[in-house]
């Protein structure tokens, strides 16, 4: 049943009409539990309250699969605004973004133009930028763009998905740049040709790439809500004398808040991924796919 629900929500997540309607009719149906709000002022308040609790943040201006150049440019401007807001208020926050929101499906030149604008602002305000990883058809393009930008900018990282068979090779190829990488299980619907169909294989591969990237001596963000993976990371770091400032844990806003606080209190760096903006639909559907139990929050949202 869980597998069927997962497929159903992933199917809904890339429905263009529902995405448009969601933008128009605002943050509804329980999505507010996972999204800080629609405006940058909402994001600022959320970051401040997380920072007060000792939690770091990566802020995400929600958006993906943009098909108009003007929209991609205006989304890049919003990312620059977000960086400025973080810098001017001296918040403990990075920025995360998706290349399809900056024109990846339109042209590489457009994405590079937008990313350079964002990374210049990141350099000026000292705000690190992570390129989220999207679905498999965009993987190679995203890696190529990351490599180009990494040669020019220091403050940039990207994401590796443990469910992909090729992930370990990709990490090894990027090792020459000593990149700061976020490691995740992977959130998209992928075929068995490119990704492990069984969760247990993804979990094993996740451990393998955490060990690989840490042992390569690179900064590693372990982004998961899975206690088994968190415990593995702690133990591996201890046994291999990996200093605590070489890795951090990351979780999504609204998921396992207590665990986030516990890890921070134990002295680990804990970063919360905070999305904001009106393009919340795809993000929200992927969260439901991960845990159909969250449907309860949606039902409450409808009747609120
Ligand atoms: P799971 O095996 O899914 O979950 C382990 C346990 O965590 C569950 O048993 C449950 O107790 C709890 N849990 C998990 N999800 C939820 C939930 N939604 N609600 C409540 N409890 C839950 N994926 C990408 O493909 N690209 C990215 O760029 C990307 N960036 C990410 C950034 C961050 C900070 C995080 C945390 C995740 C990101 N992901 C990304 C998503 C990731 O790939 C997984 O889909 C997601 O994290 C769920 O996997 P898990 O590791 O938490 O383990």
- Indicate the pLDDT class of residue 212, thresholds 50, 70 and 90: very high
Classified by CATH at the fold level, domain 35-279 comes out as: TIM Barrel (3.20.20)
| Complex confidence, ipTM | 0.95
Mutate to test the pocket of ligand 1, among 104, 128, 170, 187 (most ligand atoms within 8 A of CB): 187
Ligand 1 centroid, distance to 91 Cα (angstroms)? 25
Whole-model pTM: value is 0.90
Residues in the chain: 304
State pLDDT tens for residues 85-126.
Answer: 999 999 999 999 999 999 999 999 999 999 999 999 999 999
Burial class (CB in 10 A: 0-12, 13-18, 19+), 277: buried
Backbone angles phi, psi at 280, to 5 degrees: -90, -10
State pLDDT tens for residues 129-159.
Answer: 999 999 999 999 999 999 999 999 999 999 9
- Indicate the pLDDT class of residue 267, thresholds 50, 70 and 90: very high
Ligand 1 centroid, distance to 109 Cα (angstroms)? 32
- Tokens 């990374």 sit at which residue? 119
> Does residue 132 have its Cβ closer than 6 Å to ligand 1?
yes
For the record, the structure tokens of 242 come out as: 């990996």
Distance of CA 202 to CAs 87, 166, 251, Å?
37, 12, 18
Most confidently modeled range among 128-132, 275-279, 284-288: 128-132
From 75, 138, 182, 271, active-site residue? 182
Q: How far is it, in rounded angstroms, from Cα 51 to Cα 57?
A: 8
Q: Check if the beta carbon of residue 25 is closer than 8 Å to that of residue 242.
A: no
In the predicted model, what is the mean pLDDT of residues 212-233? 98
Closest ligand 1 atom to 130 CA: 28
> Does residue 294 have its Cβ closer than 6 Å to ligand 1?
yes
Q: Check if the beta carbon of residue 161 is closer than 8 Å to that of residue 202.
A: no
Bridge pairing between strands 156-161 and 129-131? parallel
> Does residue 185 have its Cβ closer than 6 Å to ligand 1?
yes
Q: How far is it, in rounded angstroms, from Cα 38 to Cα 178?
A: 35
Does 201 qualify as catalytic in the annotation? no
> Does residue 255 have its Cβ closer than 6 Å to ligand 1?
yes
Q: How far apart are the first and last CA of the chain?
A: 28
Q: Check if the beta carbon of residue 248 is closer than 8 Å to that of residue 218.
A: no
Domains in the chain: boundaries? 35-279
> Does residue 142 have its Cβ closer than 6 Å to ligand 1?
no
Q: What is the mean pLDDT of the chain?
A: 90
- Which residue has the least CA distance to atom 21 on ligand 1? 255
In the predicted model, what is the mean pLDDT of residues 157-174? 98
For the record, the structure tokens of 294 come out as: 């969250």
Half-sphere exposure (CA, 13 Å, Cβ side) for 281?
19
- Which residue has the least CA distance to atom 51 on ligand 1? 224
State pLDDT tens for residues 6-47.
Answer: 776 677 666 766 666 666 666 555 677 788 988 999 999 999
In the predicted model, what is the mean pLDDT of residues 191-207? 97
Does 132 qualify as catalytic in the annotation? yes
> Does residue 289 have its Cβ closer than 6 Å to ligand 1?
no
Q: How far is it, in rounded angstroms, from Cα 230 to Cα 224?
A: 7
- Which residue has the least CA distance to atom 30 on ligand 1? 132
From 132, 135, 170, 203, active-site residue? 132
In the predicted model, what is the mean pLDDT of residues 228-255? 97
């Amino acid at each position: 049943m869980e597998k069927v629900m997962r497929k159903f929500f992933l199917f809904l997540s890339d429905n263009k009409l529902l995405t448009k309607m969601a933008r128009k009719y605002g943050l509804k149906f329980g999505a507010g539990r996972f999204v800080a709000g629609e405006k940058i002022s909402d994001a600022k308040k959320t970051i401040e309250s997380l920072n007060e609790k000792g939690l770091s943040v990566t802020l995400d201006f929600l958006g993906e699969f943009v098909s108009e150049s003007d929209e991609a440019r205006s989304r890049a401007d919003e990312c620059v605004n977000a960086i400025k807001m973080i810098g001017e208020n001296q918040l403990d926050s990075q920025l995360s973004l998706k290349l399809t929101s900056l024109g990846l499906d339109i042209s590489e030149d457009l994405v590079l133009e937008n990313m350079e604008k964002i990374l210049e602002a990141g350099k000026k305000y000292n705000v690190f930028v992570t390129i989220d990883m999207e679905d498999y058809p965009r993987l190679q393009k995203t890696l190529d763009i990351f490599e180009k930008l990494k040669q020019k900018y220091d403050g940039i990282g990207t994401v590796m998905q443990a469910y992909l068979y090729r992930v370990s090779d990709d990490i090894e190829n990027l090792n020459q740049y000593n990149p700061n990488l976020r490691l995740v299980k992977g959130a998209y619907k992928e075929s068995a040709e490119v990704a492990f169909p069984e969760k247990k294989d993804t979990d094993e591969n996740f451990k393998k790439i955490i060990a690989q990237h840490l042992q390569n001596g690179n900064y590693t963000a372990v982004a998961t809500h899975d206690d088994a993976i968190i415990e593995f990371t702690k133990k591996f770091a201890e046994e291999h004398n990996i200093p605590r400032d070489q890795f951090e844990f990351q979780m999504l806003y609204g998921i396992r808040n207590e665990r986030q606080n516990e890890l921070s209190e134990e002295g680990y760096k804990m970063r919360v991924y905070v999305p904001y903006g009106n393009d919340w639909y795809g993000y929200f559907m992927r969260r439901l796919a991960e845990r159909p139990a969250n449907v309860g929050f949606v039902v409450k949202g409808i009747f609120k």
